[in-house]
Amino acid sequence: AQSVTQLDSQVPVFEEAPVELRCNYSSSVSVYLFWYVQYPNQGLQLLLKYLSGSTLVKGINGFEAEFNKSQTSFHLRKPSVHISDTAEYFCAVSDRGNQGGKLIFGQGTELSVKP
Amino acid sequence: KAGVTQTPRYLIKTRGQQVTLSCSPISGHRSVSWYQQTPGQGLQFLFEYFSETQRNKGNFPGRFSGRQFSNSRSEMNVSTLELGDSALYLCASSPKWDSFEEQFFGPGTRLTVL
C-alpha cells in the first residue's frame, strides 16, 4: 500500500521569503501526486497535480512542485510567500487497488507566514 | 457551476446516537468519496460511491455506512457514535469512478461527539 510522508509538521517563515514543503511517497510505480491546501474551517482546495509529462508542475497562487521519481519526492515550493498563504498543506498520492482507487494523504504541514 | 455542498456544516451529538451527513456533488459528477479528518489520524478514506453502488471502502468499522441516490447525492451514516468519531467529514466529487485527478472537495461537516 502507498504511504506519504510530509517531513515537516510546521514551517514558520517570514513574508516574502521562499518556502519549500517536503513530501515523499513510498512507491516507485506510476502514481498521480497532488498538493492540497486547507484554510481554517474549510475543505481541501487543489493546488496542483502531477499526472504525467513535465516533472515541474505549476499550480495556483504561485506554487510549483517538482516530481522526482528516483527520490520518490514531490516537494512544493513558492519563491515568495504572503500572509494569506498561512494554511495547512497536504500532499497526496493515488492508490489504486482491485476495487478502485483512493487518495492517501500525508499528515499535513502547517505553514505559518509571519510579517 | 456550484461546488460541492455538505450539510449540516456543524453537528453535536452524544455517545450512542447515530448521525446522517449529506453531500451534494457538483452537477454532472457521478462519483462521491468520503474522508474522515482527525488531528491524530489525519485524512482517511471512508468509501466511494458511483452510480448508487459502493465501489471502494476504507478500513472503518461497519458502524460507518453510506449510500448514493439516483441524483448522485450521497449520505453517510454513523451509528452508535463514539467519542473518537469526532472529526471533520469531507466529501469529494468527481465526474467518473476512480477519477481522483479531477476530485473536488466540499467544506466538510464538523461532527462533535460528547
What is the Rg, in whole angstroms, of the alpha carbon atoms belonging to chain A? 14
Distance CA B50, CA A52 (A): 26
Model confidence over A52-97: pLDDT tens digits? 888 999 999 999 999 998 899 999 999 999 999 999 999 999 877 6
Given this model, what pLDDT does residue A52 score? 85
Strands (E), A1-105: 4-6, 10-14, 19-21, 23-25, 33-38, 44-50, 56-58, 64-68, 73-78, 87-97, 100-105
Distance CA B35, CA B47 (A): 7
DSSP state, A86? Answer: -
Model confidence over A8-45: pLDDT tens digits? 999 999 999 999 999 999 876 678 899 999 998 889 99
Q: A80-90 burial by CB neighbour count: b if 16+ within 10 A, else e?
A: ebeeebbbbbb
Closest-CA distance, A115 to chain B, in angstroms, reads: 27
Contact A108 B101 (CB under 8 A): no
* Set of cell numbers at residue A75: 516537494
SS3 A62: helix
CB B95 within 8 A of CB B32: no
AA letter at A113: V
Closest-CA distance, B107 to chain A, in angstroms, reads: 4
CB contacts of B108 in chain A (<8 Å) are 42-43
Given this model, what pLDDT does residue B95 score? 87
Residue B89: closest CA among B73, B75, B103: B75
